[in-house]
């Protein structure tokens, strides 16, 4: 089967591109999502690129639905090499609307449930499978909003929490040869963005588009990271995808080297690593 990669929330956007890229590497790609028609389309794209698709309808706000999904993954795929936690509840128009958090709909807090919490639940199911195999990678999608103001309090809490959660999971997983990281992509040239006529985009966005990453770039970087000899030395860290790509010699599908926004939007916090015997 090759590498078995699970990508949650992969029916659109970043997750869909990650799934396509792993398919091009000959992986078995498990994708979750709520819409059966969208899952069927993703399965077709995975097959076209040489991968083996397993599509699972799953509501990541429902723990029983997630448990059922991972039971099926173990039965059909036989194991999990890489888990990419990408599922998120994003109410896009409310998220980007101007105004303080209390003037926006309360449902924006869903990002903490389907995002931060759902990452924990998926990792809880995947970790024992990986630990038993003695190798694995859990990568949760985060962003610069973990350290700088970006779309407000709910978004920032979800991303900052993801970074700390992965750092702590890495401590527990280290003795079992499993790595856990938080991954910061750049701005993503999704299928939806690519489909928009340029004249409909704001001028500043049109100017920035050449620097935006394809969603496949994240898949390329994560695939290279899994195979990297120093994978475990990076476990527990929040990693900027553009910088990690440069370190691993990975470029985007159009040949460009994506840029880091470290100077403009902030840098990941380095986790404290306790010395032997210092963990309580």
Is the sign of the CA dihedral 9, 30, 39, 122 positive or negative? negative
186 or 208, higher pLDDT: 186
pLDDT, tens digit (0-9, with 9 covering 90-100), for 95-138? 888 999 999 999 999 999 999 999 999 999 999 999 999 999 99
Record the tokens describing residue 238, joined without a space.
């929040």
- Summarised one tens digit per residue, pLDDT across range 153-175 is 999 999 999 999 999 999 999 99
Summarize the confidence of residues 20-36 as an average pLDDT: 97
Active site residues: 155
111 within 8 A of 158, measured Cβ to Cβ: yes
β-pairing verdict for 238-240 and 28-33: unpaired
**Rg of the chain on CA atoms, in Å:** 18
* Total-model pTM: 0.93
* pLDDT tens-digit series, residues 217-272: 999 999 999 999 999 999 999 999 999 999 999 999 999 999 999 999 999 987 66
For residues 129 and 72, give the distance between their C-alpha atoms in angstroms, rounded to a whole number: 13
Give the pLDDT confidence of 74-95 residue by residue, as tens digits: 999 999 999 999 999 888 788 8
Residue 139: pLDDT over 80: yes
pLDDT value of position 76: 96
What number is the average pLDDT over the span 37-58?
97
Query: Are 4 and 22 contacting, i.e. CB atoms less than 8 angstroms apart?
Result: no
Q: Out of 124-128, 202-206, 210-214, 227-231, which region has the weakest mean confidence (pLDDT)?
A: 202-206
How confident is the model at residue 279, as a pLDDT?
47
- Is residue 49 within 8 Å of residue 20, measured between CB atoms? yes
What confidence category does residue 208 fall into, taking pLDDT thresholds of 50, 70 and 90? Answer: confident
**d(Cα 26, Cα 132) in Å, to the nearest integer?**
24
């Amino acid at each position: 089967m090759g590498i078995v990669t699970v990508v949650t929330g992969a029916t659109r956007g970043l997750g869909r591109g990650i799934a396509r890229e792993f398919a091009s590497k000959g992986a078995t790609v498990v994708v979750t999502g709520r819409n059966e028609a969208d899952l069927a389309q993703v399965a077709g794209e995975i097959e076209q690129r040489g991968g083996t698709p397993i599509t699972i309808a799953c509501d990541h706000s429902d723990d029983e639905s997630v448990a059922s999904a991972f039971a099926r993954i173990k039965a059909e795929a036989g194991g999990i090499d890489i888990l990419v936690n990408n599922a998120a509840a994003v109410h896009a128009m409310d998220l980007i609307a101007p105004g303080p958090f209390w003037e926006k709909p309360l449902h924006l807090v869903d990002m903490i449930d389907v995002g931060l919490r759902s990452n924990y639940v998926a990792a809880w199911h995947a970790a024992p499978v990986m630990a038993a195999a003695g190798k694995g990678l859990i990568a949760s999608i985060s962003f610069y909003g973990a350290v700088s103001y970006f779309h407000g309090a709910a978004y920032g809490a979800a991303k900052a929490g993801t970074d700390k959660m992965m750092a702590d999971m890495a401590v527990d997983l280290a003795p079992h040869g499993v790595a856990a990281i938080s991954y910061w992509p750049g701005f993503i040239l999704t299928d939806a963005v690519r489909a928009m006529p340029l004249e409909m985009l704001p001028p500043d966005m049109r100017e920035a588009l050449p620097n935006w990453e394809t969603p496949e770039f994240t898949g390329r970087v994560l695939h290279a990271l899994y195979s990297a000899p120093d994978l475990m030395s990076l476990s527990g860290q929040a990693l900027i995808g553009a910088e990690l790509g440069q370190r691993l010699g990975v470029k985007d599908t159009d040949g460009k080297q994506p840029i880091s926004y470290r100077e403009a939007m902030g840098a990941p916090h380095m986790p404290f690593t306790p010395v032997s015997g210092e963990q309580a």
